[in-house]
Amino acid sequence: MNVGSADGEDDAVIAAINTTPLVDVMLVMLIIFLITIPVVTTSIPVTLPKERVEIRETKPENIIISVDKAGSVFWYDQKVANVEALVDKLKKVSTVKPQPEVQIRGDLASRYEGVGKILYACQRAGIVKVAFITEPPALGG
């Protein structure tokens, strides 16, 4: 501690910066961040989906239902008149053992309503296995 000179001269200018309060504040902030960051990142436990490319084998018993841009529903290559006709076809298929998988191909520009109708028809018919056919993402992006 600098009290002053012993010979009684005027106070000398002290040109030193006291960094102790700065270091104390920085250490307190570091401790606060170290405590709060793990709580923020793991507050709700969820399982996040992983992107993967799964090569699927097309089996002859799989049913492929497509939806085009206009929302028309196709059973393989045949247009289905309405949802009730689709449900009737799916009910016939749902009795087969083992039950085949229904694969839905939806056009990128189609509305969700068309795909939703197919999902609802599968649910009404008792179909258990439903899959979506998509294109893999482009390489490098």
The dihedral sign for the CA sequence 83, 84, 87, 89: negative
Q: Which two tokens stand for residue 104?
A: 């839905």
Label the pairing between strands 102-106 and 63-67.
Answer: parallel
CA atoms within 13 A on the CB side of 136: 8
Residue 10 has pLDDT above 70, yes or no: no
88-139 confidence digits (pLDDT tens): 999 998 888 888 889 888 888 888 888 899 999 999 999 998 988 777 666 6
Rounded to an integer, the average pLDDT of 65-75 is: 87
For residue 64, the model assigns a pLDDT of 87
In angstroms, what CA-CA distances link 4 with 7, 9, 15, 19?
9, 8, 15, 22
Map tokens 């929302």 to a residue.
71
For residue 107, the model assigns a pLDDT of 82
For residue 60, the model assigns a pLDDT of 67
27-55 confidence digits (pLDDT tens): 999 998 888 776 655 445 555 555 555 66
Map tokens 């006291």 to a residue.
18
Residue with the larger pLDDT of the pair 83 and 16: 83
